[in-house]
Every structure is written in C-alpha cells, then in structure tokens.
Amino acid sequence: MHHRSRSRSRSRSRSSNRSRTFVRSAVLAAVALFALGAAAPGQSAGRGLLLTVSGTENTWIRGVTLQCDPAPAGSHPRAAQACAALDAAEGDPERLAADGRMCTMEHDPVTVTARGEHRGTPVAWRETYSNSCVMRGETAAVFDF
C-alpha cells in the first residue's frame, strides 16, 4: 500500500508539471496573439517587444506588449517610461539603469523575458532575479506591470 501512495504522488507531480507547462504555453500563446492583433493598421506586427514576468517554476506569468516606435504604445501600463528606460539603455535590457532601491533578502525568484525588436534592433533577453523588488530595482519601468 505504501508503494501505491508513492506512485500516486509521482503521478500527481508529473500531472502538475504538465499542467504548469500547458498553462504557461497557453498564456504565452495568448499574449503573442494579442501582440499580433495590437499592431496599428499599416504597422508591422513584428515591431515591438513581448515582455513577460513569471514566478518560480512558472506558477504564474504576466505578459505585455511594448512598442516604442514611432511613439510609446502597446498593453504596457507605463509604456512611455518603459520606452524612455530602454532608449537610455540603447535597447539593451542588460544595460537598464538600476534605481538603487533597498530590497529584502527574500528568496522568491522571478524570471523576466524580452523578445522582439526595439527601434529596429532585435532583442532576445532573459534574466532571473531573487525577488520582484530586486527585479523592479534593476529593470526600471520596463518590467513594472
């Protein structure tokens, strides 16, 4: 009987991992489809960025679109500030200016991604931070959504 419960536990774990993967894939697909539909008439859908923030083991995920050219647009709630931060970093998320905030040492990792184009330059970037406070402090308004 003990063997069966261990088997059930493994089965639940595999099922849970599959569910998380499916949910993550579905959310990313929905955000990507939204990004394609959000392009203005006459504007290339490939211009702009898809930005995501996800929790440990993808237990949750949020995504927005950001277009900076010709003007800040997309589903990002702070598009103008995010575009200004990216412009100051020459479109390289690795070079975003940290704001110097103090954060707790809490370990609750978040992973951010940026994919697409910023003002015609391809961007494919991913980084994991120890918690959301550190992430916001290191990425300015770009991942503040």
Show the low-confidence residues of the chain (pLDDT under 50). 1-19, 21-23, 25-45
pLDDT at 47: 84
Domain total of the chain: 1
Residue 144 lies in a domain: no
Q: What CATH number corresponds to the domain at position 41? A: 3.30.350.10
Domain range holding 30? 2-139
Residue 46 lies in a domain: yes
Structure-derived torsion over alpha carbons of residues 97, 103, 109, 114, reported in degrees to the nearest 10 = -20
pLDDT at 133: 97
Residue 145 lies in a domain: no
> What's the number of CA atoms in the CB half-sphere (13 Å) around residue 116?
24
pLDDT in tens, 85-99: 999 999 999 999 999
The candidate with the shortest Cα–Cα distance to 125, out of 103, 99, 92, is 92
Q: How far is CA 144 from CA 38, 41, 72, 138, in A?
A: 20, 27, 15, 11
Residue 84 lies in a domain: yes
pLDDT at 39: 43
Query: What is the chain's length?
Result: 145
Written as one string, the DSSP assignment of 6-49 is: HHHHHHHHHHHHHHHHHHHHHHHHHHHHHHHHTSPTTS-TTSSE
Longest C-alpha distance within the chain, in Å?
Answer: 65
> Is the Cβ–Cβ distance between 112 and 139 less than 8 Å?
yes
